[in-house]
Chain A
């Protein structure tokens, strides 16, 4: 009861039991060794690009845009380049040197829900949980492209094979289970 506080508008995530989500994500991320993060990201974006060509259709001219995904709880930011010819997703140190056309910033759980097709980005934007900067059209386009996918890329990622992805699969399934309870 003492720790059952309700979300304030700037709370970084929902509360599950007595463990805050940022804390939980830290724990969930622990099984992921830091060094292979870049190969994992590279594989994710290549597989998604290969499996989901329809993504590029909706992105239109914004396949050439660079998106900075700034997840509050992560120690790094992600730079997404959805160019079908050379798709790229990299982890970079947060700071002014990271340049993209559009920036999407928010708490992990909210962004996860949006990518998973379970969160409404407009509502998260109205409540100021998700912020966008730079090229607004590019950001909106990316959202619309992700939203039209059958299932979601979270499912694609969870379905990827190989030893590197076993811990990731576990993380995804635990996050989803957690998300369903909230």
Chain B
């Protein structure tokens, strides 16, 4: 079995250009990840801020031994969204991760990836997309273990990679409306980029004060951070080939080192969890979807001794 890959997902939040550039530079130089996903997934209005930095960031990542994959937007609606996607696809030689069906026709016949915002829930869908050129699938976050195993077998048969997010807040919903703008009495077209103040999203609490969700522009995320430390062993056995970390404002270099050690079985899941607490990652974390339970739940280890 090939060594499991560790990947750094796209930055979902509207970090400043400097912050984003420095983040990717550090990933390039220090993080033990195999793949870096570059590009804006959530809001095309944010792209002008970072577009000019993309070439130097990509070069640095490649120099650091990372494979660069370019992501397309999760929701494509406006002219700007459409231009953002088509601008990405025409990049020569670039490997693309499609997060919406609008990218697919133009990727036909060219090797590409299918992202986690794309609905792939069964073998037939996987096979159909593979015939179009898909060679790597990051599965929807809500799938339970039972689905992973049959899909991994299909991916294996197709010679495709299969990736699962194991760390970070989880994207739960997309909308045409910007909830960051709405929270500040604005509209999407007139948002003044209020989302830049929330590097990990804007937290929502329920009436009774319970932490619940987190807002990132048009995206609604889990309040809790996903942590599949206890499930990584089973995922490797199932045939998952790559493990995704979703970037947050915490020390992602330390987080990536930790999960690399976990994948290499140099630390246990318990040690991983303790070190995440020491790193200041928000607790409690969640793993419910994997266990076919409410996603926000933290299910105790069912496969101990890993």
- In the complex they form, whether A and B have CB atoms below 8 Å apart is answered with no
Interface of B toward A, CB cutoff 8 Å: none
